Amino acid sequence: MQINAGDTAWVLIGAALVLFMTPGLALFYGGMVRAKNVLNMLMANIFTITIVTILWVIVGYTLVFAPDAGGGIIGKLDFAGLRHVDGAVLAGTAIPDRAFMAFQMMFAIITPALITGAIAERTKFSAWIVFATLWSLLVYAPVAHWAFAADGWIYRMGARDFAGGLVVHINAGAAALACVLVLGPRRGFRREIIRPHNLTLTLLGAGILWFGWFGFNAGSALGANAIAANAFTTTQIAASVAAGAWIAAEWWRLGKPTTLGAASGAVAGLVAITPAAGFVGPVAAIVIGIAAGVVCFFAVGLKFRLNYDDSLDVVGVHMVGGILGSVLLGALAQRSINTAVPDGLVFGGAAFFGKQIIAVLAVFAYSFVVSYLLARLVHATIGMRVSDEAEVTGLDLSQHEESAYILTD
């Protein structure tokens, strides 16, 4: 197969859109923290681009997409330093291997960045650099190989993840839960109201995420084709329906609709449709959107009942949304839409549904356990949490000697 210019252009545009999502995530999270911590949140996200880009070129890409080293667990070192990734056509596609490498790099960047929302307002910047480095190599790379590489054990088993429900959202969400259990809650958690400082930034970030998500999902078709068009359509439907469902649940439960609820609902819908976008139709996207909006709304409140401080609801939105979308894919997939997946439970594919459950449990268990051990290691060596004084002062000043807002007469 020869390289197709249109397919290549679409994948490169998709890569740029996915990269744009990380600054969008920084704004989305940045608006939700207090004013004294906003620069730290922006820095944690933006600097993740630097960390992961270097790791991906040196060893990350080869660990995920090189030929399997045995057992479907991890790739060999054949592509270390991007050796042999020279622009030749990627097998089974009409795009160069370097375009695919760049596209997947952006997934590897945003996944650890998602974790920063859970550990906001109390984590040392140096500890984040160390944790993100270790996590990218020891958690992201194996899980991505399992589900995205054709010889990964999850892929070979027959479970599917179109654009990252397993690899990105469950993976990051489980890690976020592990990290907050190691860190403990912020000062004042459950004793005082901790309000977002700038929801305008959060809405702007949500808009950037929504825009970039079309590259995330539709780009995962790896071509400008009917599957990409389907993924684009289902992504828009699920996000819109989930935003409405979250607002309806919030209005009924709390008496007022909020802008934060609308933004969170849209993101929940985007998360939930991610594993299924290229495998389900528009009606299924509506079902997934409703489920994401309602279930994730109630899930974010569990942190108060279970007493864990997930600062910006990464567990409730990304982990729960990723689980929901991956399971519903097992129920609603249609082979008539994409021959790369069998029919789901609703259409007679009970075996596929079971495989999706196994994949969800495996990714959650691995990510949670290894992330917990890594967080413990970092905490025991350099310390993961800032001092009480630094937390009160704010991480912008204590970690970076800067202030986001300079107010003068």
Give 352-370 pLDDT, tens digit per residue: 999 999 999 999 999 999 9
Distance between CA 89 and CA 184 in Å, rounded? 48
- pLDDT of 287 strictly over 80: yes
Percent of the chain with pLDDT over 90: 98
246 contacts 296 by C-beta, under 8 angstroms: yes
Give the three-class secondary structure for 202: helix
What are the C-alpha distances in Å from 5 to residues 96, 333, 363, 407?
A: 10, 30, 36, 51
Residue 120 predicted with pLDDT over 70 = yes
Q: Which residue has the tokens 């740029």?
A: 16
Residues paired with residue 385 on neighbouring β-strands, in sequence order: 123
| Under 8 Å between Cβ of 121 and 34 | yes
Query: Per-residue pLDDT for 409 more than 70?
Result: no
**Distance of CA 294 to CAs 51, 167, 206, Å?**
35, 23, 18
What pLDDT is stored for residue 408 in this prediction?
A: 66
Cβ atoms of 76 and 68 within 8 Å: the answer is yes
State mean pLDDT over 178-186. 97
Q: What is the mean pLDDT of the chain?
A: 97
Calculate Rg over the CA atoms of the chain.
Answer: 20
pTM over 0.95, yes/no = yes
Question: Which tokens sit at 152?
Answer: 């990964």
pLDDT recorded at residue 1: 80
Q: What is the pLDDT of residue 394?
A: 97
May I ask the CATH architecture of the domain 5-400? Orthogonal Bundle (1.10)
* Mean pLDDT of all residues in 156-184: 98
When pLDDT is averaged across residues 48-73 and rounded to a whole number, the result is 98
H or E, element range at 176? helix 171-183
pLDDT band at 77 (very low <50, low <70, confident <90, very high): very high
By the 8 A CB rule, do 6 and 94 touch? Answer: no
Give the pLDDT confidence score for residue 407 in this predicted structure: 73
Residues 308, 325: Cα–Cα separation, whole Å: 24
